[in-house]
């Protein structure tokens, strides 16, 4: 005789969903299990979310928001352009390492289709905007020629790719920092590796 309308089911579901996602990833997240954990009937979640994708979308949205916030903070607090790119990359990888499941959720194939969740699309766009602005904005406010702009854009993409690749390989356990090195230093080292001119033959 579960009491009807305890009024907070949606939030509780979201909360538990966060927990499960963090611990086991989207595959382990099942609506039935969620319902059981919440002490509510197995169909109840459907009153609050548009099926499994719906709940994943909700979680993904908040993940995108945290992600964007963290990047924004870093970007806002570093003056030099190069340093900003580096720190941003480190923050990018840092988020991935601290929240691997969320990172996978927002980038991977399990992410609900953006077309079907406008708020999700918005959250995603916003996060990428933060990234892009932070990377492309240069210190001096000189006007750029078209080709300079193109170069800046490509450099942004290249930087993003670099961070993304490191993040992915690290959370998938393909590469790891050597025993005597902190993760942060390791990442910064890798990011720097490409910035240093390899002007050998």
Partner DNA sequence: TTCTTATGTTAACTGAGTTAACATTATCGC
Partner DNA sequence: GCGATAATGTTAACTCAGTTAACATAAGAA
Q: Which residues bind DNA (CB under 7 A)?
A: 2, 4-7, 9-10, 29-33, 40-44, 46-48, 51-53
Residue 108 vs 165, nearer CB to DNA: 108
Pair 26, 103: CB distance under 8 Å? no
Structure tokens that stand for 167 in this block: 């993040």
- Residues 6 or more apart whose CB falls under 8 angstroms from that of 82 comprise 195
Residue 34 vs 156, nearer CB to DNA: 34
Q: Residue-wise over 134-160: b if at least 16 C-beta within 10 A, else e? A: bbbeeeeeeeeeeeeeeeeeeebeebb
64 in contact with a copy of itself (CB under 8 A): no
Of 157, 167, 20, 32, which is closest to residue 90 (Cα–Cα)? Answer: 167
Among 8, 42, 172, 185, which residue sits at the site for a copy of itself (rule: CB under 8 A)?
172
Among 77, 145, 147, 199, which residue sits at the site for a copy of itself (rule: CB under 8 A)?
199
Among 14, 15, 25, 33, which residue sits at the site for a copy of itself (rule: CB under 8 A)?
25
Among 33, 48, 107, 121, which residue sits at the site for a copy of itself (rule: CB under 8 A)?
107
195 in contact with a copy of itself (CB under 8 A): yes
139 in contact with a copy of itself (CB under 8 A): yes
Distance from C-alpha of 154 to C-alpha of 195, rounded to nearest angstrom: 14
Q: What is the CA radius of gyration of the chain?
A: 20
Which residues contact a copy of itself (rule: CB under 8 A)? Answer: 25, 27, 80-82, 104, 107-109, 128, 139, 154-155, 157-158, 160-169, 172, 174-175, 189-191, 193-201
């Amino acid at each position: 005789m579960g009491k009807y309308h305890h009024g907070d089911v949606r939030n509780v579901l979201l909360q538990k969903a966060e927990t499960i996602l963090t611990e086991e990833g989207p595959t382990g997240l099942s609506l039935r299990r969620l319902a059981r954990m919440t002490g509510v009937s197995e169909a109840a979640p459907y009153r609050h979310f548009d099926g499994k994708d719906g709940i994943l979308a909700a979680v993904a949205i908040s993940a995108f928001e945290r992600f964007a916030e963290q990047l924004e903070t870093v970007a806002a607090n570093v003056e030099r352009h190069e340093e900003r790119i580096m720190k941003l990359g480190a923050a990018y990888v840092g988020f991935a390492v601290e929240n691997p499941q969320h990172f996978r959720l927002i980038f991977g194939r399990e992410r609900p289709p953006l077309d079907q969740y406008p708020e999700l699309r918005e959250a995603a766009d916003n996060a990428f905007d933060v990234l892009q602005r932070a990377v492309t904005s240069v210190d001096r406010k000189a006007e750029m020629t078209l080709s300079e702009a193109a170069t800046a854009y490509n450099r942004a993409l290249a930087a993003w790719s670099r961070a993304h690749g490191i993040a992915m390989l690290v959370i998938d356990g393909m590469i790891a920092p050597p025993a005597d090195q902190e993760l942060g230093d390791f990442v910064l080292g890798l990011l720097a590796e490409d910035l240093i001119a390899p002007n050998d033959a």
